[in-house]
Amino acid sequence: MLLSKLFKPDFPFRPKSLPFHYGWVVAVAGATGIVASIPGQTIGVNVFNDELISALSISRSQVALAYFFGTATSGIMLFWAGKVCDRIGSRRLVVAANVALGLSMLYMSCVDWLPRFAAKVLGLDSPTSPMLVASLSVGFWMLRFSGQGFVTMAGRNMVAKWWRYHRGKVLPISGIGVSVCFSLSPLVFYELIQATDWRVAWRILGLCSGIGVALYAWFVYRDNPEECDLSIDAGIAPRQKQRDDPEFTVVKEFTRDEAIQNFSFWVFCGIFAVQSIFVTAYVFHVLDLAKELGMTPQGILRLFLPGALIGGVLSVAIGWLSDHFRLKFFAALMATGTGLTSFALMTRIDGWMIPMMIAGMSINSGSFGPMTGAFVPRYFGIKHIGAISGVMMSTMVIASATGPLLFSVVRDFTGSYRNAFGSTFAVAVILVMASFWANNPQRKIKMQLDEEKTGSLR
């Protein structure tokens, strides 16, 4: 009873009573919620890798293997767990997910304690590598499932329900801050570790997430405008062209099973997946890659910032344009960004590598927010958005699990990451071509309905 009262839309305040439309608060809240997922994202985990390798006395490949097991398990579970968002709503989900993320970081701060206790019980002098990898896998699963999975999903789906025709404009405006925060986080976390140690750093972050962010999300999150007796799109009327264009009008609400049978669904998921493979592998091995490229850790970590700043500007432009043009063209652009960065790190042309890297990263970060936020609701509707986005998130998470491991294996066998970047470049080129056939299924359905209507009038 108390729990039900705590999560009523009008408690602890009525969104409708504010002097401005609550949709704007939702846009900011969704963005800050995604920022809160950083400790569960690869970009927030990678700076702890060297500390884990040293503290656990395991190899980089073993850390990558544990990351693969934990992240892949998370991705497989998200395939079905997305329905939870449809059932309980974004507000309840994000509070529970942030508490779970906080507990996950507290577990990671003592991830070696359980194997050492098990070794003591078994009469061993020290824990074996499989014990350490298993314990680390559990920790990575907890981080990824709660952080990259539910925390991210809750914020993104909430914004999609509050905004329809102007979704492309709203997502990138709030996304500028997200891009900057994501890009600064490796450097901030790195300095936090240096100022304290890796265990204390994770405990600080865990308390911030499990208590601070959870309370903030409970206070400002609201699942949809209907429960608050408010209108969608902050009451801003769409242009007549948008009303008439099937690209922006949902004529059929797809179920999850119907969506996953659609060709366009897998093209978009493929683009998101290859971007996840590349980005997670890059940030997971970024400090090791710095040694291969002859750069300092601080030097390569600082490359994230210009990409984020330029990406933020691009995000606004892409978001605005996506409210006017077909989404498949921006899918091609996003795949081009992945291909460009991969090409730069594959060829390593003197004087061109870093500019191409920054350009590709900018396109990637600028496209990601508008694309992942608009794709499911525009192509398949919002009635089953949790279930459908759960599958999308599942493919992204599983892809992000394979990236670090594949790149680590390639480096172990070839002595360099160059061939791995070559593979992501080739896949990106294929997806650029495929994206031009990734049409919005609403267009075809609208056309069929119009033809049936015309035929019945004859």
pLDDT digit string (tens) for 359-395?
998 898 888 878 888 899 889 988 888 889 889 988 9
- Contact between 201 and 51 under an 8 Å Cβ cutoff? The reply is no
Q: What is the pTM of this model?
A: 0.77
448: number of Cβ within 10 Å = 11
Q: How far apart are CA 226 and CA 437, in angstroms?
A: 35
- Assigned token pair, 114: 């359980």
pLDDT digit string (tens) for 281-326?
887 788 888 888 888 877 887 787 787 778 878 888 888 888 788 8
Q: How far is CA 148 from the centre of its chain?
A: 6
409: Cβ–Cβ under 8 A, 6 or more apart, which residues? Answer: 61
Q: How far apart are CA 34 and CA 26, in angstroms?
A: 12
Half-sphere CA count of 51, side-chain side, radius 13 A: 21
Q: What is the per-residue DSSP string for 422-446?
A: HHHHHHHHHHHHHHTT---HHHHHH
Give which of 393, 326, 387, 310 is closest to 34, Cα–Cα.
393
- Assigned token pair, 172: 């990138």
Give which of 78, 137, 128 is closest to 107, Cα–Cα.
137
User: Structural domain boundaries of the chain?
Assistant: 19-228+244-450
Name residue 374's amino acid: A
Alpha-helical regions (H) of 109-197: 113-121, 129-143, 152-162, 167-195
Q: What is the pLDDT along the chain (458 residues), one digit of tens a residue?
A: 667 788 998 989 999 899 888 988 998 898 888 889 999 887 788 789 888 988 888 887 888 889 889 988 988 888 777 788 888 888 999 999 999 999 999 999 999 888 888 888 888 888 888 899 999 999 999 998 898 888 988 888 898 888 877 776 776 666 666 777 777 788 889 889 999 999 999 999 999 999 999 999 999 999 999 899 888 877 666 665 656 666 777 888 999 999 999 999 999 999 999 999 998 888 778 888 888 888 887 788 778 778 777 887 888 888 888 878 889 999 999 999 999 999 998 888 777 888 999 999 889 888 887 888 889 988 998 888 888 988 998 898 888 888 888 888 898 889 889 899 999 999 999 999 999 999 999 888 887 777 777 666 55
To the question of domain 19-228+244-450 being in CATH 1.20.1250.20, the answer is yes
Name residue 441's amino acid: P
Q: 328 to each of 55, 133, 310, how far by Cα in Å?
A: 46, 41, 22
- What is the pLDDT, as a whole number, of residue 273? 94
